[in-house]
Amino acid sequence: MRLAVRMENLHPRHPRCGLACVLAVLTSPFILSSTVYAVEAPPVSLSWNANPESNIAGYKLHFGTQSGVYTNVVDVGKTTQTQLPMLQMGSTYYLAVSAYNSAGLEGPRSTEFQVTAATPPAALDTSFALGNGIAAGQASLKWKYPKASQSAVDRFAVYSSEDLKTWTEAARLATSAASSSDSQYLYFEYPYQTTTRPKMFFKVAPRNAFGETN
């Protein structure tokens, strides 16, 4: 999944006299590709342009759940890409990046932008099919997903259980693995060998970069 975040031209926020006037010699990091994208763990990564100054020693990522209030600051070192800590599903985070030089002086923060850790909608019409053209000893777990919500999900996790208490991830299906589609829905199938396994229960959990639907 790729969550595009549009950025405006960056400029110092809330300039002040004194120390801030000294720090202003460091420019704000410009977000080159202001894109949040999925990786395995931690699940979200962020990149930006390097500052042009020759004495840049590193960058700091500032973020929090209120605009302009950054309760978390992470020194990411001299790199222009970092992975974010796990974000809480359903919450919106506000982020900005600043640079500091070899003397330890920190420049102004970049323009603030926000990321919402959206919860992907649940799968629809989950069903289990036997017969009707399916080979002997095989069954198929089926579900559908709205095309309008496709961008909100990376993949589907299929869980199985023998007792409805202990669940094991049995498979992962990318949204590109849909067996068919129409104007409104993507349709998915997961095969199940009925002759080699005991009675099983299944559930499907849509997942994106921030987590999955329960």
d(CA 117, CA 160): 26
Backbone Cα Rg of the chain: 23
d(CA 110, CA 61): 10
- Read off the pTM: 0.57
pLDDT of res. 135: 59
What tokens were used for 17?
């006299």
Domain pair 2-116 / 124-212, same fold:
yes
Assign 3-class secondary structure to 123-164: CEEEEEEECCCCCCCEEEEEEEEEHHHHHHCCEEEEEEECCC
What's domain 124-212's superfamily in CATH? Immunoglobulins (2.60.40.10)
Domain segments of the chain as ranges: 2-116, 124-212
Per-residue tens of pLDDT for the chain, all 214 residues = 222 222 232 322 332 222 222 233 344 454 433 333 333 334 577 888 888 888 999 999 999 999 999 999 999 999 998 887 777 788 889 999 999 999 999 999 998 988 887 788 889 998 887 655 555 567 888 999 999 988 888 889 999 888 889 999 988 999 889 999 999 999 999 888 766 666 788 899 998 877 787 6
What CATH topology corresponds to 2-116? Immunoglobulin-like (2.60.40)
> 156-197: per-residue pLDDT in tens?
999 988 888 999 998 899 988 999 999 999 999 988 876 666
What tokens were used for 14?
């809330």
